[in-house]
Amino acid sequence: MKKHPLSSAVAVAGVMAFVSANLQADGGSHHEHKDSIEEIIVSASPLDKNHFDSTRPAAVLSGDQLRQAAAATLGESLKGQLGVASASFGPGVGTPVIRGQQGNRIKVMQDNLATSDAANASADHANAVEALQAERIEILRGPQTLRYGSGAIGGVINIIDNRIPSTVPDELSGAIETRYNSVNEETATVFKLDGGSGNLAWHIDGLYRNSDDVEIPGYADIHGDEHPEDTTNGFIENSDSESKSLTAGMSWVSDDGSFLGFSVSRLENEYGIPAGAHVHEDEHDEDHDDDHDEDHDDDHDEDHDEDHEGEHGHGEENIRIDMEQTRYDVKGQLLSPFAGVEKMTMRLGYVDYEHAELEGEEIGTTFDSEAFEGRVEFVHNSYMNGKARGAFGLQFLDKDFSAVGAEAFIPGSTTQNVGVFLVEEWDFDSWLLEAGARLESTEIDAEGHSSVDFNTHSLSLAGQYRVDDEQRFNLVYSRAQRAPSVEELFSDGVHVATQSYEVGDANLDEETSNNIELGYQYHMTTGGRFLEFDISVFYNDISDFIYRENTGEIREENAVLAYRQQGAEFIGVETKLTIPVYEKDGQTWDVQLFADSVRAELDSGANVPRITPRRLGIQFDYHGDIAGNDFDAKVRYTHVSEQDKPGVNEESTPSYKRLDASLNYRIASGSGAWTVFLRGDNLLDEEIRNASSFLRELAPEPGRGVTIGARYAF
């Protein structure tokens, strides 16, 4: 009998539950675990709920855990989280994938407002955020349209920072960190300072990162053994990057906790698109001439370095993306602003984004985006003797987008969006009930087309049953709608990044997602021991699912990809078990088992493309001290299955195993502390073809790399 794709993950979940039950019966040790601290999930609810009391699956990266995971792209930084993968387009681009969904279905936010970059317009566009500058990153899995709109139909990534302070620090504090990564000779330095006096608080931070071409095992092109003259061996050509960022913010904070602040940030990011991924087909044969073998031999040697500094080997075929973004933000909070309201929060943001796609010395295409977004939320007074509370709010967006040049397959457009929402919660000791609704209106006016309007409606019902202080059962139903995007509606032209001719459909309807999710949490931190077990099973039925279909036609020497609609089903499971195995004299060992899997299929029976395959893994954590200083270490092994259901006209990806490790050593020094860290990625030097990537056949994931760095905080 053929097994269902989720069977392995479900079996692992059963084993985890069995181990959990036996540990509870047998008793054991207890220790404080650094990852078990329940942090406030600001994005999950306007009602300031902690992780354990949230009905929706969420994860938080902060502190040392975030510093260890932070990488050059957002997707790369988060890919180790349950249900999260990276849609890479070479090392310079890695956008997050949540439960198999990406692009316009995942909303990436900077402190509760959209990044308003061009990442969703094309697979070769990076998110305009830096994980190294974040205070914490919140990952909300599943539909989050209720609070953040139709762009959050698949999930939310929220980058939380302190660029607009909400409190005045008692003294000057800050940190500086520098790191080096061997896999691409990356150097990165980041700093921050926070201070204030009286009612004024201020913040500054900055970052500089530079990297060379990334090293890989074997050939970049999956067919390199057959045609070595058409690819590189041991590295990915034109995969270097340079990024710099600077932010300054200030707030006035009243004695009662109200505040109003402003910040401005500047981000510049230049990165290369791997050779062969972004070429015009009629130029391809001319560029691959006899000089190719001379420019690229099998070693990543001095000849490569000379090419890197000049024409990058293939000259005009290599594309560079030069991105600039200036962001202005206003944030405020008023406590008890008027009768019946406990708190009002306000966010305004203006984003001026531009990136040029450089073909040699010339600008091929320029993408511009100017967006003004705002939201205001009111938490009303509790009622029913404090057992009920709620919030309501308003959100708006006005965005102008244009693309000019050879790759202007998307027309210029203006998008206006307004949404209102209401969330209510009732807490009856053993039961926590939630209900909410959102109404949203979107108008898109694109050049050369009649304007289109969409009215979307979202509804969410959730319940949590608290068996006791340590166990929670969660059941969530949500009906979420998403309006089509500009590129889905009006694309018409060659999209060089994906080597395709994209055709939109102005008659697309809204997507409607009916999602049901069942979760169980067991967090035992009493009775002299510690144990955590989490499992979520979800089913998502999406009507009028928008996808790109390879029609089999050829237009302007490129395959035609047309946007279509039909129903789709996503089903999956995510589970994690953390077990304490040893504790003595301040030394602790933990073992973590984890698994996630998602299966996505269209109503026609075809597979949804670029879906993350099943992942199973085990992680060992050690915490102790050396010479009286704090020390921890982690080893993580992940087995990723073959993706043998890649979608129509898509290539399957083989399974692979991945071994990663990290060390942290903290040294107290006066009023501050040093952290020296070491991280090893892909230590088995596996050739990894990422199923979520458009470039899996041309640019594998990085090979074995070691990151070493130091951080001083005071």
Angle at alpha carbon of residue 710, lines to 705 and 712, rounded to 5°: 155
With tokens 């040294």, the residue in question is: 667
Decide: 114 and 356 in contact? Cβ < 8 Å. Answer: no
The candidate with the shortest Cα–Cα distance to 318, out of 151, 23, 90, is: 90
Matching residue, tokens 């139909």? 153
- Report helix, strand or coil for 5: coil
Q: Is 58 exposed, middle or buried (0-12, 13-18, 19+ CB in 10 A)?
A: buried
pLDDT score of 118: 87
Instruction: Name the region of 91 (left: φ>0; alpha: ψ -120 to 50; beta: rest).
Output: alpha
pLDDT at residue 56, rounded to an integer? 85
Q: Which two tokens stand for residue 58?
A: 């969420």
pLDDT below 70 — which residues of the chain? 1-44, 51, 276-317, 497-498, 526-529
Q: Tokens 């502390």, residue? A: 673
Q: Please write down the HEC assignment for all residues of 135-147.
A: CEEEEEECCCHHH
CA atoms within 13 A on the CB side of 650: 26
Q: What is the pLDDT of residue 3?
A: 44
What pLDDT does residue 709 have?
Answer: 96
pLDDT for the residue 39: 55
The confidence score (pLDDT) of residue 498 equals: 66
Nearest residue to 337 via CA among 254, 459, 403: 254
pLDDT at 207: 98
Tokens for 235?
Answer: 């590295």
Instruction: Give residue 303's pLDDT.
Output: 46
**DSSP result, 595-607:** EEEEEEEETTSPB
pTM listed for this prediction: 0.87
Q: How far apart are alpha carbons 224 and 231 in whole angstroms?
A: 6
Query: What digits encode the pLDDT tens for the residues 668-707?
Result: 988 899 999 999 999 999 999 999 988 899 999 999 999 9
- For 379-440, give the DSSP string: EEEEETTTTEEEEEEEEEEEEEEEEEETT--S--EEEEEEEEEEEEEEEETTEEEEEEEEEE
The answer to whether the beta carbons of residues 565 and 548 sit under 8 Å apart is no
Contact 414, 397 (CB under 8 A): no
Other CB atoms within 10 Å distance of the CB of residue 227: 11
How confident is the model at residue 30, as a pLDDT? 36
CB 611 within 8 A of CB 645: yes
Report the pLDDT value the prediction gives residue 69, as an integer from 0 to 100.
Answer: 92
Among 596, 576, 474, which Cα is nearest to 5's?
Answer: 596
- Cβ atoms within 10 Å of 180's Cβ, excluding its own: 12
Rounded Cα distance between 138 and 144, Å, is 13
Q: Give me the domains of the chain, ranges plus CATH numbers.
A: 7-713 (2.40.170.20)
For residue 676 the two structure tokens come to: 């020296």
